[in-house]
């Protein structure tokens, strides 16, 4: 039986990997399995701390003179508060219950998102729309125990995909995660096993 509700796939690009202090520089989501006309969401966010060199090497973002750049090209940014508010509005358009899915949601994506929602006093508004977080990392381990590695690149190589995959574009990662999830076709028990309810 298919999941009754909506699963929205999301990804973050950040200034670093410390879940207690990193800033979000890109927030993106995808949900194509609905009649909603706005299938994807993305916002670039101006950080208030430097982007760590390791993060830049991975995601291509730099921050100079009050401007955010992606691969040396300037991008139009919004405030964190406005980005989160528009994200909540985007999520509110889907049939409930809404679950947010990310690869490593439990240890990274979900933690960072929850921290900034609380910091911006938007958590109460968020939890009226979102019921929980699905972590596709343990889901992939559960469904494919014969695999050795479960990072993005390995999963992409293991499953049939067309076109080039940019592992550090948050929009593309969210869209690809949705494709992967639909290909895996987990049942409701599998989904509930890897869901942290709010």
pTM: 0.92
pLDDT by residue for the chain (198 residues), tens only, comes to 456 789 999 999 999 999 999 999 999 999 986 555 568 999 999 999 999 999 999 899 999 999 999 999 999 999 999 999 999 999 999 999 999 999 999 999 999 999 999 999 999 999 999 999 999 999 999 999 998 888 767 777 777 665 556 566 899 889 889 988 988 999 999 999 999 999
For 6-38, give the DSSP string. Answer: EEEEEEEEES-S-TTT--EEEEEEE--SSS-S-
Could you tell me what percent of the chain has a pLDDT over 70? 89
Eight-state DSSP code of residue 150: -
> Where are any strands of DSSP class E within the chain?
6-14, 24-30, 40-44, 61-64, 67-70, 73-74, 98-102, 130-135, 195-197
The structure tokens listed for 153 are: 């690149």
pLDDT at residue 139, rounded to an integer: 95
Distance between CA atoms of residues 41 and 90, nearest Å: 8
Q: Which fold has domain 6-197?
A: Nucleotidyltransferase; domain 5 (3.30.420)
63 and 50 Cβ atoms separated by less than 8 Å: yes
Q: Please give the biggest Cα pair distance in the chain.
A: 52
Residue 76 CA, chain-centre distance (Å), reads 20
Distances (CA, A) of 36 to 53, 55, 127: 38, 33, 20
pLDDT at residue 150, rounded to an integer: 84
Distance between CA atoms of residues 83 and 66, nearest Å: 18
pLDDT at residue 1, rounded to an integer: 45
pLDDT at residue 180, rounded to an integer: 87
pLDDT at residue 154, rounded to an integer: 74
- At residue 95, the 3 state secondary structure works out as coil
- At residue 98, the 3 state secondary structure works out as strand
């Amino acid at each position: 039986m298919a999941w009754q509700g909506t699963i929205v796939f999301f990804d973050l690009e950040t200034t670093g990997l410390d879940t207690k202090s990193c800033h979000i520089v890109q927030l993106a989501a995808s949900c194509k399995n609905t009649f909603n006309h706005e299938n994807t969401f993305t916002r670039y966010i101006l950080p208030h701390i430097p982007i760590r060199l390791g993060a830049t090497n991975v995601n291509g973002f730099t921050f100079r003179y009050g401007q955010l750049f992606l691969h040396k090209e300037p991008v139009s940014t919004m405030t964190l508060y406005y980005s989160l508010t528009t994200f909540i509005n985007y999520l509110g358009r889907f049939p409930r219950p809404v679950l947010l899915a990310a690869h490593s949601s439990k240890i990274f994506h979900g933690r960072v998102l929850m921290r900034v929602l609380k910091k911006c006093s938007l958590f109460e508004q968020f939890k009226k729309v979102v019921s929980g977080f699905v972590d596709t990392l343990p889901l992939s381990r559960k469904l494919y125990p014969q695999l050795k590695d479960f990072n993005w690149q390995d999963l992409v190589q293991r499953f049939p995909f067309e076109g080039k995959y940019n592992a550090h574009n948050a929009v593309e990662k969210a869209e690809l995660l949705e494709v992967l999830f639909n290909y895996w076709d987990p049942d409701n028990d599998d989904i509930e096993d890897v869901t942290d309810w709010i």
